[in-house]
Each structure stands twice: as structure tokens, then as C-alpha cells.
Chain A
Amino acid sequence: MHDSVFDRYREGNSLIHRLDPRVKVVVTVGLILSNALLPDGAWAAFAFSWALVLLGNALAGLGMDFTFRRSFVALPFALVAVTAVFSLPGRALFEGDLGPWHLVVTEAGVVRFASVLLRAWLSVQVAILLIATTRFPDLLHALEHLHLPSLLVTTIAFLYRYMFVLTDEVLRMTRARQARSALLPGRRGGGTVSWRARVAGNMVGQLFLRSYERSERIYQAMLARGYRGQIRTLAPHVLRGGDYLFALAALLGVLLIQLVGRL
């Protein structure tokens, strides 16, 4: 499989691309925190926050609508938040019974629902921007610099390397299953649900054994090449003046957003 199926990185040499990954991680978390801190119904601040995201898009040379077009991944979960509409006390807009529930749609509830959706939507865009402008290995290196436990970072690094390989394995196994599942037109095929589930279970078991054996081979190969428990990199990752400046500007932006949200 081509790794571009999973990789969300967009090649580029913009200001944002060249920033130190540590700074990008910290600024991303800062912006998401800022979104979480905004009170319900702070529409102006939400708009301002989005303006910053758009600015980031433009600076990264991705086109203004880059993150917007990819930002709808969080939408299915919005279904859960719909109940927020009924869960707050306040001026009732609409009342009704649905089965065992007495539902009162309140003004505060609607504002909460819209605010939750906006916060989620803005936060997702910031995360998309981070991942589109930072190579994943650089991101992991940044996490190590930020003092995440090295065993965890190494595990994630291995996961990132081998998820392509094992997904390929899954693709081959699924193709093999399909090739053996002929279907006559007009007839139900594929056995009972529990039989199908057992086949899927067998596939998972087989994938496990293949992965297990592969990990032994990989470890031996790593030892053969002089592995000493650490993964090395050529990227220097040195914080420069520009990085500090960008972090400062982002901090000012967050402060301004919070100020606007509280006025």
C-alpha cells in the first residue's frame, strides 16, 4: 500500500512547515485549550479563533479552505451532543414528549449545543493543520523532547512504521476471503452471522500470530544492526529565534481570543 493513504502530511517549505515541531505541538494544544476555555455563546471569540486557523492555513501555503474541507470527521459524534439541547434549565423554546422522555428545548441548551459543535470543529481544524505541516517522525521527536516517556514514544513510532505493513496484511487476507466467497445472483450467501464472525475471528487470530512472529524477526534484525534501545535521528531540532517569536505571537492571539470571549 502506498503510505499516502494514511499519511496526512502535505509536502511544503512554508513558514509553518519550517517551525520546530515542539513549538507547533505546544501552540496546537494551546489553541485547543483556548477553545475549551471559551464560554458558551462567545460567537465573536469563536470567529476570531477561526480567523487564526485560516491565517495558519494561508501561512502554510495550503489554501484557505484546506482544514475546512477536512474538518467534518467529528460530525457523527455530534449526535450525542444533541441531548444537550434538552439538558439545561432556561427559557423553554419547545416542549414535547418522546416515549418515556419529557423533552424541553431551552435557549441555554441550544446555545450549549452550538458552542460544543463550534469548539469541536475549531479544535479539529487546528489538529489537522498540525499534522498536515509536520512529518509524523518529527512529531514523535517533539513529544520525546517534551518529556513523554521514551518507551511510549518508541511504541508509537513502531506502530507508525508497521501499521502500513500490517494493514497490507489485512488487505491481502480480506481479498483472499472475498476470492473464496462466490455469490450466485439471487441467492443469499455467506452462511450465518456467527459463522462469518468466526471467520473474522480466525483472521484476527492469524494476523496476531503473523505479527507476533514478525516482531521476533524485527528484533533480531535490529540487534544485528546494533540497536541499543534508542532510535536515532538526523534532524537536529534546535529552537531558533523565529520559533520563539511564533510561540509569542500565538500566545498573544490566544490571550486576545480569551479577552474577546469574555467581553
Chain B
Amino acid sequence: MNFVPVPMHIPDGFLSLGVALFCWGVTAVVVGVALRRTQAMGEQRVPLMGIMAAFIFAAQMINFPVAGGTSGHLLGGALAAMVLGPWPAMLVMTAVIAVQGLLFQDGGLLAMGANILNMGLLTAAVGYGLYRAGARLRPRARLVVAGGAAWLSVMTGALATSLQLWLSGTARLDIVVPAMLGVHALIGIGEALITVGALTFIARTRPEVLEPGSGQERGGRGWVLAGVLVSVLVVVLSPLASSNPDGLERVAMDLGFFGRSADAPYHLLSGYTLPFLGETPLSTILAGLVGVGVVVLVVMFLTRLVRARREM
């Protein structure tokens, strides 16, 4: 049996130094918090975390044939977060991606920060947040939510990967985003089906493992909010990136991203002139307004949901 690579591990050399170090910074902070939260749960967690990492590593090899020689398999970030809780899942995924990079050169060392962020942290946050949002639903509906969460977790990772490549000047935005998202929309279906299958199986045979309060740390509303926010961002950004790359470029410039990468030794987009400069700010602002509106609506809906539940 061969080691099956997931087509999302960025090798070294594909990210600019600025983007790679920025991602390492974000990853270091989040993993630091995850470590502290997991450590607080007691030393019994140490072997459990290691074995769970080995479980994800091995589970990524289980596949099922789809059609034409392709097969569906698991990335595992969302599933890990659903069965272990978000912080332990982040630690587990970090270990898995670290070993894949160190031992198998599947993903680079300098790019490892980005890889952990895309495949470990974002997938766990989105997967857990959405799953948690459906915690009060009936079992069947909850499984549907879990599947959707697993699918969207893969899409989030793919979008983050595309954006990092684009910010590094390695790929063209309006090609890489539809290509990556198109491929991963299919991969995500496999992820969703396996995640739902695994959850169903565990719920049928050892339901107490999935119950809150069985030693796992369960986050609350914060995770729901984070998961929903990132998902909304993915849903809004994906079509925007493929249809209006100039607009997104403008946003990135305003946020100072290209300024940072221009500090990098090889000048990425120096002298890059944006066409239709007069037109883009307007469309960007409009898109931004729509995004903000959606986010506000979702937050309002959520707070109302929480309040209604308290009054019950």
C-alpha cells in the first residue's frame, strides 16, 4: 500500500518568503493556544493525542473507488474536530502534517506553517464550528450538517492554499481558484461521505465517545461564530476571486499584502499596473458591503437562536 498524498501539501519554493513566514506566525500562535488548552486536560491526553494523530495518518489511506480509477479519501481535520474537540484536533493535525513534511517530503518545511494552517487549523475550525452549530438538531439533520461541514472544511483549505499561492506570485488568481476549488469540490464529497459514515458508525457502537463531557473539551458559541464566519468568507470570496480577480488584488494591496511581499527579496508584483483601476474600487466596495451584510445577518440570526434557546 502506498502513501496517498492529498493534493494540497505545498512544497518549499512555491510560497514567497513573506507569505510563508506570515503563515508560520499565525500557525505558531494558534498551535500554541491549542497546546496550552490540551495540556490543561491532563497528562492522560498525551498518548491519546499521539494515537489519534496516528489514526488520522492511517485513516487517510482508507479509500473507496469512485470511477475511472479515481478514489475518494479523507483529509480528516473536520472528523478529528468532531470526535476530539477543536483544540486537540488542531494539535493532532499539526503532528500529522509535520510528519508528512519531515518524513515523506509531502509538503515543505518553510511552507509547513501554511500547510498546517490550511489542512489542520482551518479545517478543524470550520468543521467543528458548523458541526457545533447543528448540535441541537435531530440526529439525521445533524449528520447532514456534519457532511456539509466536512465538505466546506476541504473547500476552505483549498481556497486558503490558492490565495497563498496567488499572494506569492506563483499562480494566477482567476485560474488557480476555480481549478483548486473545482478539484476539491469533488474531493470534499468523499471527505463528507467518509466523515458521515464514521460518525454514524461511532454513534451506533460507542455513542458515549461522542457525548459532550466525556473528557473532551467542547468549545461553545465562539467556535460556532468562527466556523460560520470563515464559511461565509469562503462562500463570498470564491466566486469573487474567479470572476473579479482585479477587485481582490486591490483589496490585498489595500491591506498591505503586496507591500509585505515586495519586501521579500524577489520582487513579486513590483511595477504591476492594475487595469481598469477606476472601475475596481466600486465593485470591491459593493462586494465588501454584500459580505458584511451577510455576516451581520448571520450573527443576528445566531444571537437570536441562542437567546431563544436560553428562554426555553
| Interface of A toward B, CB cutoff 8 Å | 6-8, 28-29, 32-33, 35-40, 73-74, 76-77, 80-81, 83-84, 86-89, 101, 112, 115-124, 127-128, 131, 136, 139, 149, 151-152, 154-163, 165-167, 169-171, 173-174, 190, 193-194, 196-209, 211-212, 214-216, 218-219, 222, 229
Q: How far is the CA of A121 from the CA of B13 in the complex (A)?
A: 8
**Contact sample, A vs B, 13 pairs, CB 8 Å cutoff:** A28-B109, A33-B17, A36-B13, A115-B266, A151-B39, A155-B95, A158-B54, A159-B54, A169-B58, A170-B1, A198-B193, A204-B198, A207-B59
Inter-chain contact B105/A36, CB cutoff 8 Å: no
Q: How far is the CA of A205 from the CA of B175 in the complex (A)?
A: 37
Residue of A nearest to B2 (CB): A5
What B residues does A136 contact at CB under 8 A?
102-103
What A residues does B22 contact at CB under 8 A?
none
> From residue B295, how far is it (CB to closest CB) to chain A in Å?
29
Whether, in the assembled complex, B286 has its beta carbon less than 8 Å from a beta carbon of chain A, the answer is no
The interface stretch among B66-74, B231-239, B277-285, B304-312 is: B66-74
Contact of B99 among A121, A163, A206, A222 (CB under 8 A): A163
Inter-chain contact A89/B202, CB cutoff 8 Å: no
Inter-chain contact B197/A200, CB cutoff 8 Å: yes
User: Which of B3, B103, B176 has the most chain A CB atoms inside 10 A of its CB?
Assistant: B103
Contact of A37 among B92, B103, B265 (CB under 8 A): B265
The 0/1 profile, CB within 8 Å of A marked 1, for residues 88-110 of chain B is 00011011101101111110111
Q: How far is the CA of A134 from the CA of B206 in the complex (A)?
A: 41
What A residues does B59 contact at CB under 8 A?
170, 204, 207-208
Contact of A156 among B53, B83, B272 (CB under 8 A): B53
Query: Given that A154-B50, A159-B53 are known contacts, is A124 also in contact with B66, CB under 8 Å in the complex?
Result: no
Q: How far is the CA of A240 from the CA of B65 in the complex (A)?
A: 53
What B residues does A74 contact at CB under 8 A?
11-13, 105, 108
Contact of B103 among A6, A117, A165, A203 (CB under 8 A): A6
Contact of B102 among A122, A139, A154 (CB under 8 A): A139
Q: How far is the CA of A110 from the CA of B200 in the complex (A)?
A: 50
What A residues does B266 contact at CB under 8 A?
38-40, 115
Residue of A nearest to B52 (CB): A211
> From residue B235, how far is it (CB to closest CB) to chain A in Å?
21
User: Which of A32, A80, A128 has the most chain B CB atoms inside 10 A of its CB?
Assistant: A80
Inter-chain contact A152/B35, CB cutoff 8 Å: yes
Residue of B nearest to A37 (CB): B265
Inter-chain contact B172/A84, CB cutoff 8 Å: yes
Q: How far is the CA of A209 from the CA of B170 in the complex (A)?
A: 42
Inter-chain contact B54/A35, CB cutoff 8 Å: no
Inter-chain contact B201/A201, CB cutoff 8 Å: yes
User: Which of A40, A77, A101 has the most chain B CB atoms inside 10 A of its CB?
Assistant: A77
Inter-chain contact B14/A81, CB cutoff 8 Å: yes
Whether, in the assembled complex, B55 has its beta carbon less than 8 Å from a beta carbon of chain A, the answer is yes
Inter-chain contact A158/B47, CB cutoff 8 Å: yes
Inter-chain contact A163/B54, CB cutoff 8 Å: yes
The 0/1 profile, CB within 8 Å of A marked 1, for residues 147-185 of chain B is 000000000000000000100011110111001100000
